[in-house]
């Protein structure tokens, strides 16, 4: 037990000597936050995926929902693409004992590409970048297949938006750490 305590103290001293500073450390404010996050206004993003992305970012950043008084504005644009990744051959009856072979899609990939800009209220760009995420979903061929497939697609979109929101939070935390004196 004493060896662990000694190692922990030694590691803390060694890391502090090299300038190590935890990214989400807190010197004033709640642990695990970057104080500047509260001063970001996340601009509205159209459509359901944009709505999901914006709300997740507001929650992750603990950002204000109002542009009034915000020190920073985060603008987001996105592109979606859905493409088949798994197909299978299916025999379909066409009547009079005849059949045809059809190729049907059984799985899709959903790709979400996001461009972001962090600006001052005057519009000066502080940082910008892009992130992307991939989600997959299966096509259900049952009688309730259309509903199940749509629900799976919406879930893939939500997962991609959540992944990008987490990456954007990290991108912004790194930017603030380098340009605002670090975590506060």
Q: Please, what sign has the CA dihedral across residues 8, 11, 17, 23? A: negative
Structure tokens at 13: 């001293």
110 is in which domain, residue-wise? Answer: 22-179
- Closest listed residue to residue 123, CA positions, set 72, 163, 166: 72
Asked if pLDDT for residue 114 goes beyond 80, the answer is yes
Residue 5, pLDDT above cutoff 70: no
Mean pLDDT, rounded, of the chain: 84
For residue 67, being part of any structural domain is answered with yes
21 falls in which pLDDT band (50, 70, 90)?
low
Residue 90 lies in a domain: yes
Position 142 in a domain: yes
Number of domains in the chain: 1
Q: What pLDDT score does 32 carry?
A: 46
Residue 95: its pLDDT value, please? 82
What are the Cα distances from residue 106, in Å, to 36, 98, 100?
Answer: 45, 24, 18
- Name which of 64, 56, 61 is nearest 173 in CA terms: 61
Flag whether pLDDT at 30 surpasses 90. no
Higher pLDDT, 97 or 82: 82
Q: What is the CATH number of the domain that holds 134?
A: 3.30.160.150
Confirm whether 29 is domain-assigned.
yes
What is the structure's pLDDT at 88?
Answer: 85
Q: Give domain status of residue 5, yes or no.
A: no
* Residue 4 forms part of a structural domain: no
123-161 pLDDT, tens per residue? 999 999 999 999 999 998 777 778 999 999 999 999 999
Query: Does some domain include residue 13?
Result: no
H/E stretch holding 15: helix 2-17
- Domain presence at residue 31: yes
What pLDDT score does 26 carry? 46
pLDDT in tens, 168-184: 999 999 999 888 654 44
> For 32-91, what is each residue's pLDDT tens digit?
457 789 899 999 999 999 999 999 999 999 887 788 889 999 999 999 999 999 888 888
Whether residue 57 contacts residue 81, with contact meaning beta carbons closer than 8 Å, is answered with no
């Amino acid at each position: 037990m004493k060896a662990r305590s000694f190692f922990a103290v030694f590691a803390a001293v060694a890391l502090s000597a090299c300038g190590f500073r935890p990214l989400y450390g807190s010197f004033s404010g709640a642990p695990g936050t970057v104080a500047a996050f509260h001063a970001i206004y996340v601009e509205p993003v159209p459509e359901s995926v944009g709505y999901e992305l914006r709300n997740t970012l507001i929650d992750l950043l603990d950002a204000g929902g109002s542009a009034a008084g915000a020190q920073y504005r985060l603008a987001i644009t996105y592109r979606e693409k859905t493409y088949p990744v798994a197909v299978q051959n299916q025999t379909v009856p066409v009547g009079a004992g005849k059949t045809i072979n059809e190729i049907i899609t059984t799985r899709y990939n959903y790709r979400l590409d996001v461009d972001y800009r962090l600006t001052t209220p005057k519009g000066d760009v502080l940082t910008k970048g892009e992130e992307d995420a991939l989600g997959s979903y299966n096509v259900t061929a049952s009688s309730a297949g259309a509903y199940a497939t749509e629900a799976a697609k919406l879930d893939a979109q939500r997962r991609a938006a959540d992944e990008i929101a987490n990456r954007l939070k990290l991108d912004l935390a790194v930017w603030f750490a380098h340009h605002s004196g670090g975590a506060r």
